[in-house]
Structures are given as C-alpha cells and as structure tokens.
Amino acid sequence: IGEQAFQRGELVSAELVALTYGALVRQLFLDYQAPEDVNEELERIGYNIGLRLVDDFLARSAAPPCRSFQATAEIVARVAFRMYLGVSARPANFAADNTAYSILFDTNPLAEFVEVPDAVANTLWYSNIFCGVIRGALEMVQFSVRASFTRDMLRGDECNEIRVCLLRELEETVPLDKET
C-alpha cells in the first residue's frame, strides 16, 4: 500500500531533496557548530515535520490503525518509508517485551552526494531528521517514543538502523466541548 500511495502522490527527484537537506544541515552547522547540537536540532526539526506529516499519511496511506506499538514497526518501515522516500525498509530486532524495534534500510535518498567531513564523521548523525519525524508521527498516534540512529552507511556500516524505543503510551485525549 505504500507503493500505491507513493505513485499516487506528487513526486520530485531525490537529488532535489538530497541537496535541499544538505543545505539545511550545512546551515545548522554554521549556527551550532557542535555536531551533537546539529543532531539534536535535526531531530527537533524532524519532530515538527512528523507532527504535520501524520495527517497526510493517514489520509493517503489507508494504513490500518496501529493497535499496538509493535504494529507501528510494520507501518513505519513498509508503508511510510516507501511512501515518502520511495525506499524499502524493514522492521527488525524486536525487544522481547515489545517496547523497542529497529527500522533497517539500505538506500537513503537524503545521503546521496554526501561527503561528511572527517572531523564530524563519528559524531554527526547526518540523517537524524528521520528520528524526529518518527517521534513526531508516532506521538500523534499516541506512542511517545525515542528514536535514534544506531548504524549509518555514511559511517561505513552495512545498513542504516534506527532504533525506536517506546517511552509510554499516551491517553487518547477526548476533545472538550468548547461550550462547556
């Protein structure tokens, strides 16, 4: 279903997003300098994107509602990655108590054309915006999570891995009637 939604949606070239994202990362480096701060800022920017993207996702994906945290793994990896990035990702490494999983993927459109300077190669998580997007989107469907890169092909790892850990399930808030 990710594939169909991907084909139905408007598409732009991966080069364009890679270069736009590269400009964003470069700008953040000018502002913050420390790669740890850039990581954090990318995550925060992604979080805001995730909060906004989830409505579009639910409208276009026709994905079934996630009844459990565990079920979000499949949707994030197989539907959302396909729909927004045009790449296949797969869920893996589920924790025994189902409070954590990994998203693995081999192709990363954001990281095309990228050469990370040696000085920050082991501290910058170049694509950290993804972690924020996942956190923001899952929060909107009542799962408070922390997401972080654990492997990145830009660092020479054999695949990209984002670890998603459940912090808590949020109560569905019932909107209050404005009259009362």
Least distance to a second copy from the beta carbon of 171, Å? 28
Least distance to a second copy from the beta carbon of 138, Å? 17
Q: Which of 92, 64, 93 is nearest to 77 (CA)?
A: 92
Least distance to a second copy from the beta carbon of 28, Å? 7
Residue 154 to residue 125: CA distance in whole angstroms: 9
Q: Which of 110, 128, 113 is nearest to 36 (CA)?
A: 128
Least distance to a second copy from the beta carbon of 159, Å? 18
User: Which of 32, 159 has the CB closer to a second copy?
Assistant: 32
Q: Which residue ranges make up the site for a second copy (CB under 8 A)?
A: 6, 9-17, 19-21, 23-24, 27-28, 30-31, 45, 48-49, 52-53, 56, 83-86, 109, 112-113, 129
Cβ count within 10 A of residue 30? 8
User: Which of 30, 174 has the CB closer to a second copy?
Assistant: 30
Find the angle CA(60)-CA(151)-CA(100) to the nearest 5 degrees. 60
58: phi > 0 → left, psi -120 to 50 → alpha, else beta; which? alpha
User: Which of 100, 124 has the CB closer to a second copy?
Assistant: 124
